[in-house]
Chains A and B, each alone.
Chain A
Amino acid sequence: MQYIQSVMMILLLLCSAFFFLVGTVGLVRMPDVFTRMHATTKCDTLGAGLALLALMVNRGLHIISVKLLLIIIFIWLTNPTAAHIIAKAEYNKQNANKKEHSSVEKG
């Protein structure tokens, strides 16, 4: 049992580290603000989520696991909001004629 728990934790932490790495690489490689936001939102959603999930596996059924779950929920609630504010600021800064949109038909 201990063994399975450790293996699961190691796998989750490795995945989490991988997504943080990819997010950081994306932050450096992407050309502009919006595409960089795409890379960084990934960091927080799966990177932080999987790291906290690994801690939950470590604790098992315990009140601390519930607290960790709450942390995940709050990160996932606040992260898009912050991303939205940054993107909106950049969008409103650009010239009106530079914006090109393609529309989606109402489904």
Chain B
Amino acid sequence: MEMKKSWFNKKNICLFTLLLLFWLILSPKLTIEAILVGAIVSSLVVLYSHDIAFVEKEMPLYSLKKLKIFIIFIGHLLVEIVKANIDVALIVLKPAMPIQPAFIRVPMMLKNDVNKVIYANSVTLTPGTLTVDVKEDEFIIHALTDSAAEGMVNSIIEQYVCKLEGEAK
């Protein structure tokens, strides 16, 4: 392993560019000092975290095709969030409060850790369902109502995350 060569691989340059871009968006004015300080700080972060960011086995996730699926997924997720929000708001405001809280086990259909995080966070973001625990072979999800629990079977989130996972093989 040649250490000198490995600093300038694709992975580190991607990470550096992203960090620098983020710094430039956050900086109030686009001056030479801002760019210089940003470049120094970004390279320090790259040096510090080069072994944990963009690990080899996650690499198949970062492709243009995946990005397209991911953007469509985010669009669907936004619609789901708005729909679910209105549902939960109606439940809370009803005087009788018709809730049937229950835990559901969803069998693990994903292998990649990043996809597991995406799935768990998306489920929590949509109100009515809440990821409680991620175990080796299952997700434990808490559902507010029966309809939310039924919605977890072959949900839109699951379909899209499986699509993200599927082409990674």
Contact = CB atoms under 8 A, between A and B. Distances in A.
Contacts of B122: 80
A93 B166 CA distance: 36
Contact of B152 (A63, A67, A101, A104): A104
Contact of B120 (A45, A46, A84): A84
A87 B105 contact: no
A70 B133 CA distance: 27
Contacts of B120: 80, 84
B81 A45 contact: yes
A99 B135 CA distance: 16
Contacts of A87: 130-133, 142
A42 B89 contact: yes
Nearest to A82: B124
A101 B121 contact: no
A84 B158 CA distance: 18
Interface residues of A, number: 40
A88 B133 contact: yes
A107 B131 CA distance: 18
Contact of B104 (A46, A83, A101): A101
Interface in A30-45: 30, 32, 34-35, 37-39, 41-42, 45
Interface in A54-107: 63, 66-67, 70, 76-77, 79-81, 83-84, 87-88, 91, 99-107
A78 B158 CA distance: 21
B132 A91 contact: yes
Interface stretch (B6-14, B54-62, B64-72, B94-102): B94-102
B125 A41 contact: yes
A81 B120 CA distance: 9
A70 B25 contact: yes
Contacts of B101: 32, 34-35
Contacts of A63: 25
Interface in B24-60: 25-26
Given A22-B93, A39-B92, A77-B121, A45 B142 contact: no
Interface of B: 22, 25-26, 81-82, 85, 88-89, 92-93, 97, 99, 101-107, 109, 120-122, 124-125, 127-128, 130-133, 140, 142, 144, 149, 152-154, 158
6 contacts: A30-B92, A34-B142, A38-B142, A88-B133, A101-B140, A102-B102
